[in-house]
Amino acid sequence: MTVPAGPRGPGGQLHVVVAPMRSRDLKAVLRIEDQVFDEAWSRRLFEEELAQRTSRSYRAAWVGDELVGYAGQMSVDDEAHVNNIAVAPAWSGRRLGTVLLADLVRTALARGSAHLTLEVAVGNAPAQALYRRFGMAPVGVRPNYYAEGGDALIMWVRDIDSGAYAERLAAIEASVAPVVDVERRA
Q: Which of 92, 104, 82, 95 is nearest to 36 (CA)?
A: 92
pLDDT at 8: 79
pLDDT at 4: 62
pLDDT at 7: 78
Q: Which of 157, 98, 171 is nearest to 130 (CA)?
A: 98
pLDDT at 146: 87
Q: Which of 33, 49, 58, 119 is catalytic?
A: 119
Q: Which of 32, 105, 107 is nearest to 62 (CA)?
A: 32
3-state SS, residue 111: coil
Q: What is the Cα–Cα distance from 32 to 11, expressed in whole angstroms?
A: 28
Contact 73, 83 (CB under 8 A): yes
Residue 70 designated active-site: no
CA distances from 24 to 30, 50, 67, 89, 168 (A): 11, 11, 11, 21, 34
Q: What is the Cα–Cα distance from 28 to 74, expressed in whole angstroms?
A: 21
pTM greater than 0.85: yes
**Model confidence pLDDT, tens digit, residues 147-183:** 788 999 999 999 999 999 999 999 999 999 999 999 9
What domains, with CATH codes, occur in the chain?
Answer: 14-184 (3.40.630.30)
Residue 145 designated active-site: no
Q: Which of 131, 146, 167, 183 is catalytic?
A: 131
Each residue's pLDDT, cut to its tens digit, for the chain (186 residues) gives: 444 666 777 778 999 999 999 999 999 999 999 999 988 999 999 999 999 999 999 999 999 999 999 999 999 999 999 999 999 999 999 999 999 999 999 999 999 999 999 999 999 999 999 999 999 999 999 999 987 889 999 999 999 999 999 999 999 999 999 999 999 998
